[in-house]
Structure 1
Amino acid sequence: MKHILKSVACGATLLGLVAIGDATAAATATPVLTGTVHDALFAVSFDGNHGLAAGAPGYLLETTDGAKTWTPLKNVPTRLALLGVAVKGDHAIAVGQQGLVLKREGTEWKKIETGTQERLLSVSVNASGAAVAVGGFGTVLASSDGGSTWSPIKPVWADFAEAGTDPHVYAAHIDEAGTITIAGEFSLILRKAAGSDQWKLLNKGEASLFALHIGSGNNASYAVGQDGTVLRSADAGASWSRIDAGTQAILLGVSASSDNRVTVTGMREMRYSPDGGSSWTGVNGGGVNTLWYQGIGQPEGSTAALAVGQAGRILKIDN
C-alpha cells in the first residue's frame, strides 16, 4: 500500500478513471459559484441553513441561506491552505497546513495552538463543543471546549498497522454522545467511545479512505477512497462491507440524505445513488469529468447536495 498524503496538490496530481456501467438516469450538477484557476475548496460543512466552505489560500466562504448565496470571509488570519471545516451550533473550526487550527469567536477567526506541525486534514465538532481533528502521520487531536485547547489522543498505531507505520488519517466524525470515528490509510476505520481511552478496529484493508459519512438513527454510513472504494455500514459504523459504485476513480467525499440518496465526489468523477448504494449512476454537468471535487454536504431541508473543489467551484447536485 503506497503511503500517500491527501494535500493541496491532490486535485492536480492524482488521476481518476472514467466510470462504467450506469444503470439509471444521471443526476445533474450546476455551478453555484466559480472562483479563479488559482482557488481551491477542499471542505464544506452545514448545520441547518448555515454553512462554511474552506480552501486555499486561507479561503473561507459562508452561507446563511441554505447555500443559495455565499460570502467570502474577510480578515482570515492565514494564507495557509484550509483542508477541513466543521460547523455545529455556535461552534466553527477550520484546520489545515502546519497544524493550523482556526476557531471562530464572535465574528473573528483566531489561530489556536495545537502542539503539532502535521497537516490537519479533517475536523468534526458536536453541539456541546467536543471536537476531533486528524491529519498526517497518525495525528489525532481532541478538544472539549469548542476548539480552544487540544490534546493528542492518537491510537497506538502498532496495534492496527505495520510496526513503525503511523498511517495518515484523512477523515473524522464525532457524534453528539462524543463517540469518535476516524478513517485513513490501509482502509482503517477506528472508533473510540466517549470517556474511553481504547480504540476499536472496525475495518482494515488496502485502499486509503479519504472521507466518512456517519448516518444518524437508522440511516446508513459510508466511507470512500482509492480505487473506487465505497464502504457501507448498516449499523452506524460498527461493521462495514464494500459495495460496487461502478468506478475505479479516486473518491474524495461522500454525503447521504435521510432518504438514502448518496453522492460521492472524486477525481474527474462523481457518483450518485438514489437507493442507499444499491444502484449507481454518474453525475452530468459542472465539469465533474474534467475537474476534481472533494468536500460535500447538504443543508437541512434541501433536496440537493453541495460539492466544492477545483477553481473555487461550488456545485449543486440535483437528484
Structure 2
Amino acid sequence: FFDATQGVAVGEQGLILRTTDGGTGWQGVTSGVKDGLRAVSFSGVNGISAGDSQDILYSTDSGSSWQIGQSGFFGPPLLGAHMLSSTVAFVGGQNSIFQALLGASTDGCATWNEDDFHAFLFGNSEGGGTDLFFFDQNTGLMSGAVFDGRGAIARTTDAGVSWSTLFFDQAIQGLNFPQPTSGFAVGAGGRISHSTDGGITWTDQASGTSANLNDVSFASDALRGIAVGDSGTILWTANGGEPGPTPTPTPTPSATPTVTPISTPRPTPTPRVRPTPPPRPTTLSRLLH
C-alpha cells in the first residue's frame, strides 16, 4: 500500500492486482509477463516490481499500468525491490554463480544495463539476496540466505561498491524501515530483529512462533506492524514489538486489627462460712428446790 486506499499485490504467473478502496476489492492489471513476481514497491505514483527470470516492471501511474524494464534473463529470481524516488530504484537477488546481486536504476526503471548490476559475497560466503532497503542513493541494506544455512544483513554506504555484513544463525527474508533509524528484519525460525541505528546493529525480539517469517511492514510510527510467514502465520504488534512493562503490584494496605477487649468475668467470691460457736454452758442463776 502506498496510501490509505491504494495498493498493489503481485504473485505467480505475472499476476498484478490493484485496489483503490483499502483492500475491499481488487482488480487485475496486465503485467505483460508470465513469470512469477516476487516484490513490489512504490514511491508516490512510481512503482517497481521484480521476480523470476530477473523480470523488472515499472509503473508511473500508481500501478494502473505496467511497462517491462527487462525480462527473460537466465538466472535466479530477483526477490527484493525498492522504489526510492520517482527516478531511483533498486532490485536485489542472486546471480548464476551464487553471489548476492544488486541492481540500480536512475531513470525510473526504464532501462537496465549490465553495468547497473553489482555482485558481491556476504563476507566471504556465497549466498543470495532476499530483500533490500535503501535510505538514499548510496546507503542501503540487503538481507540474505547464506549457502551454509546462516542468514545475513549486508550494509553499503557507497551504492553497493563495498559491503559490511552481519551474520545470523538462520536466513533473513524481509526488511522494513518505517523510520531512518528504526527498522525490522524477519526470517527463518520465527526470527524478528529490531535496529535503532539504521541497520548497523540488531536486537532480537520474541515473536512467539517458530514458523518461518517471510516479510514485515510497519506504519510510519514504527509501532504498528505486521509480519507474515509460512502456514498462514500472521503476527502483529502495536508497540514496536517490545514487551509491555511488567505491572508493579500495588500493595494492599493491611488493616490494623481492632482489638476488642474481652471482659473476663470476675469470679464470684465464695462466701466465707462463719464457724458455728460451740454451745455455751447454761448458767443457772438459782437452784431449784
- Using structure 2 for the length normalisation, give the TM-score: 0.71
After TM superposition, give the deviation of residue 126 of structure 1 in Å: 1.3
The CA RMSD measured in Å over matched residues stands at 2.3
After TM superposition, give the deviation of residue 178 of structure 1 in Å: 4.7
Is the 1:127–1:176 contact (alpha carbons within 8 Å) kept by the matching residues of 2?
A: no
1:205-242 Cα distance to aligned partner (Å, 9 max, x none): 22111100113146x31100111111111122221121
Is the 1:103–1:148 contact (alpha carbons within 8 Å) kept by the matching residues of 2?
A: yes
1:37-89 Cα distance to aligned partner (Å, 9 max, x none): xxxxxxxx52564321100121101123433432211x321111111111112
Is the 2:154–2:163 contact (alpha carbons within 8 Å) kept by the matching residues of 1?
A: yes
Corresponding residue to 1:169 among 105, 129, 152: 129
Residue 310 of structure 1 is matched in structure 2 by none
Higher strand share: 1
Residue 77 of structure 2 is matched in structure 1 by 119
1:64–1:175: structure 2 CA closer, same or farther, 3 Å change rule? farther
1:242–1:173: structure 2 CA closer, same or farther, 3 Å change rule? same
Structure 1 unaligned regions, length at least 5: 1-44, 281-319
1:217–1:195: structure 2 CA closer, same or farther, 3 Å change rule? closer
Is the 1:223–1:232 contact (alpha carbons within 8 Å) kept by the matching residues of 2?
A: yes
Superposed, which structure 2 residues align to 1:89-238 within 5 Å? Answer: 89-104=44-59, 108-113=65-70, 117-136=75-94, 137=98, 138-150=100-112, 151-155=116-120, 157=121, 160-162=123-125, 165=126, 167-176=127-136, 178-185=138-145, 186-193=150-157, 197-201=161-165, 203-217=166-180, 220-238=182-200
Mapped pair 1:81 → 2:81: no
Which range moves more in the overlay, 223-232 or 183-192?
183-192
Cα separation, 1, equivalents of 2:128 and 2:160 = 22
- Partner AA of 1:98 in structure 2: S
Q: Secondary structure at the match of 1:87?
A: strand
Q: Secondary structure at the match of 1:277?
A: coil
Q: Secondary structure at the match of 2:215?
A: strand
1:90–1:250: structure 2 CA closer, same or farther, 3 Å change rule? same
Residue 266 of structure 1 is matched in structure 2 by 229
After TM superposition, give the deviation of residue 256 of structure 1 in Å: 1.7
Cα separation, 2, equivalents of 1:57 and 1:179 = 33
Q: Secondary structure at the match of 1:46?
A: coil
Structure 2 unaligned regions, length at least 5: 245-289
Cα separation, 1, equivalents of 2:2 and 2:128 = 25
Q: Secondary structure at the match of 2:90?
A: strand
Q: Secondary structure at the match of 1:253?
A: strand
Cα separation, 2, equivalents of 1:255 and 1:105 = 23
1:131–1:194: structure 2 CA closer, same or farther, 3 Å change rule? farther
Cα separation, 2, equivalents of 1:68 and 1:265 = 19
- Using structure 1 for the length normalisation, give the TM-score: 0.65
Is the 1:260–1:275 contact (alpha carbons within 8 Å) kept by the matching residues of 2?
A: yes
Q: Give the structure, 1 or 2, with the largest relative contact order (CA under 8 Å, sep 6 or more).
A: 1
- Partner AA of 2:170 in structure 1: A
State which structure, 1 or 2, has the greater radius of gyration over its C-alpha atoms. 2
Residue 277 of structure 2 is matched in structure 1 by none
Q: Secondary structure at the match of 1:227?
A: helix
After TM superposition, give the deviation of residue 128 of structure 1 in Å: 3.6
Residue 241 of structure 1 is matched in structure 2 by 203
Is the 1:251–1:265 contact (alpha carbons within 8 Å) kept by the matching residues of 2?
A: yes
